[in-house]
Amino acid sequence: MERTISKQRLKEVYVWELPVRFYHWINALCIVVLAITGYIIGRPPAFQSATEASYGYWFGTVRFIHFVTAFVFFFNFVMRIYWGFVGNKYARWYNFIPLKKWQWKEIICVIKVDILQIKDRPVLGVGHNSLASLTYFFTFLAFVLQCFTGFGIYAAMSESWLPNLFSWIVPLLGGDFMARQIHHILMWFFILFGIVHVYLVFYHDYIERTGVTSSMIGGWKFVEGDDADMDGNERIRSCNQK
Amino acid sequence: MKKPTVYDEIKAAGYSRRDFMKFCGTMAAMLGLEASGVAQIARALETKSRIPVLWMHFQECTCCSESFIRSSHPIVADILLDKISLDYSETLMAAAGHQAEKSLRDTMEKYAGQYLLMVEGSIPLGNEGYCCIGGRSAEDILKEVAEGAKAIVAWGNCASAGCVQAADPNPTGATPIHKIIHGKPIISVQGCPPIAEVMAGVVVHLLTFERIPQLDALGRPKAFYSRRVHDTCYRRPNYDAGLFVQSFDDENAKRGYCLYKMGCRGPVTYNSCGVIKWNNGVSFPIQSGHPCIGCSEANFWDNGPFYKHLQSFPGFGIETTADDIGLGLGIATGVGIAAHAISTNIRKRRHINLGADNTNTENK
């Protein structure tokens, strides 16, 4: 029987709640803006010459956009952490940290099925699969580090309390140079993550057709009736079936 | 006999009251004190006698001493250093050999718990033989002298962070003072060398207020190290306007544009170069057309190359930065994705075709 790949009894499941969707798109926009402005700050194009400094402020504006966006990014992230404790079961924090054995088994499953493609049974699940979750956990760590180093080097030119909460990170790293270095290297992590993330959304929509792309807009996914109710261990069993 | 005050000694050296007040005014301004601070400094110098100072030289090049004696105000070199402060300093004292050792012992015993210890240079922990004075290792001497010190002033990058001797691979195991001495207040007067007026300011602060100046998280006096060179740089408007020097001999360099793209460390370096400047306020590196190399920050020799903004990525050759590696990884990711997409269309054929079959079935 072709149970795993035929889609006869589709069921709608409300996966991503409104705050999660808002978080996702605000976050995406912030990261795009931060990466572009950050790259310009790190390696500014010198397209102007033969003029006086008093005529322009474009580089200051780029930095201003970077800083404002950083504040939005930070509070958006704080909101998401809060939602990790009050949101639905797909949004909760325990999805993102593989503490259970089945999560590690699922990670292996996903690697075999989706990355190496040596196995043909799809990994059934409604929310994130365990490998995706773990990757998001790493991005959360990168968010934290990026906030720490970013606000840390920003603190010296600010009197406000929020950036100064992070000023201790600079002496810990030995100085602004290293903080800035780490901040810059992590930017590349976000760029690479972005590329792979968008590709994988395309990939999953192409193969599984659960409406993963539109789910981040409307919140709904379409899965087979039985799949929606499976727990982790049942999913592993189903994936490991011959 | 009453011990002569600092002012007594200044007078004896032939300075007028006017010179003395100018000195107090200069120091108050350097320290960022309000107007009444001038009187406080004058009062302190008039009533207090000199603080005994032991100035130790370990692994260093003496550029801190050199900088200090070139201070713009003669009283600094003449009085604070030459006449007032030094009970022991290998470089500048007249005594030598046993006499010098005796002077050191005398001060340590007579003023136990009161003297200031000023240290120039790092301590070689790799092998004590790298720096021995009078047959004793630098580490031994430092620990003994630090024991009875009221406070320690770490002059320059060597004593504060190890400077060039501590640069990779650090053959002598050069170690800054704060990693060896614990439990004593240590003031890091950073720079390679520190600005003379900054050094004098720290001494005057200690003399006037008899307490440690406010320090930042890395132990540097906030009065001099709370702002980036970048934030006090006269070329800063060029940075905000996006006007950058592209190479040392281009038109933009002549126009005095920002040296950010030439690897200037101003944005990551805390010092007073942009305000106090060097050599009697004549100039400072950026004003002379050269980017800041960040000499008042730890590891500045290893944060190279000096003329690039990003550090070379470890293990990838000296000219490879994080940007080059990032771009490489980006391309590799693109290739990986393309390969994966092709593989998907072959290996997941069954899933991809299924939708079409379903549609066909429904249509029938």
Rounded-to-integer distance, Cα A208 and Cα B297, Å: 54
Q: Is A53 close to B238, i.e. CB distance below 8 A? A: yes
Top CATH class of B51-225 equals alpha beta
How many inter-chain contacts (A to B, CB under 8 Å) are there?
151
The pLDDT of residue B364: 36
Which has the closest alpha carbon to A151: A127, A120, A128, A182? A182
CA distance B364 to B356: 13
* Mean residue pLDDT across chain A: 87
Which phi and psi (to 5°) does residue A217 adopt? -100, -50
Nearest CA to A130 out of A13, A2, A232 is that of A232
Distance CA B344, CA B337 (A): 10
Asked whether the CA dihedral B72, B78, B82, B86 is positive or negative, the reply is negative
Q: Given the DSSP bridges, would you call strands B53-57 and B86-89 parallel, antiparallel or unpaired?
A: parallel
Of A62, A167, A207, the CB nearest to B352: A207
Look at residue A38 and tell me whether its pLDDT is greater than 90.
yes
ipTM of the prediction: 0.84
Q: CB distance B268–A176 less than 8 Å?
A: yes
Cβ <8 Å between A117 and B343: yes
Residue partners of B268: CB distance under 8 A and separation at least 6: A153, A175, A176, A177, A180, B228, B230, B294, B297
Calculate how close chain A gets to B166, using CA atoms only, in Å.
Answer: 14
B174 min Cα distance to partner chain A (Å): 17
Q: Which residues of chain B lie closer than 8 angstroms to A63, CB-CB? A: 240
Residue A121 touches partner B, C-beta closer than 8 Å: no
Average pLDDT for A83-107: 89
Question: What is chain B's alpha carbon radius of gyration, rounded to the nearest angstrom?
Answer: 28
Helices then strands, each counted (H, E), chain A = 10, 2
Shortest distance, CA B275 to any CA of chain A (angstroms): 17
- Rounded to 5 degrees, φ, ψ at B297 are -115, 150
* Cβ <8 Å between B309 and A5: no
Cα distance between residue B227 and residue B215, in whole Å = 13
Q: Is the pLDDT of residue B361 over 50?
A: no
pLDDT in tens, B281-333: 899 999 999 999 999 999 999 887 888 877 776 666 666 778 888 888 999 99
- Residue A42 contacts B, CB cutoff 8 Å: yes
Q: What is the pLDDT of residues A46-81, one digit of tens each?
A: 777 778 888 889 999 999 999 999 999 999 999 999
H or E, element range at A224: strand A220-224
d(CA A204, CA A202): 6
Q: Do B333 and A46 touch (CB under 8 A)?
A: no
* Bridge partners, B174 (sequence order): B124
Contact criterion met (CB below 8 Å) for B151 and B113 = no
Question: How confident is the model over A5-26, as pLDDT tens digits?
Answer: 455 677 888 999 999 999 999 9
Q: Do A53 and B326 touch (CB under 8 A)?
A: no
The confidence band for A129, taking pLDDT boundaries of 50, 70 and 90, is: confident
Rounded mean pLDDT, A200-225: 87
For A10-45+55-240, CATH number out of 3.40.1190.20, 1.20.950.20, 3.10.20.30, 3.90.79.10 equals 1.20.950.20
* Whether B52 contacts B86, CB under 8 Å: no
- Say whether the peptide bond before residue B169 is cis (omega within 30 degrees of 0): yes
pLDDT tens digits along B109-129? 988 888 889 999 999 998 888
Supply the pLDDT for residue B280: 81
Chain A residue with CA closest to B161: the answer is: A174
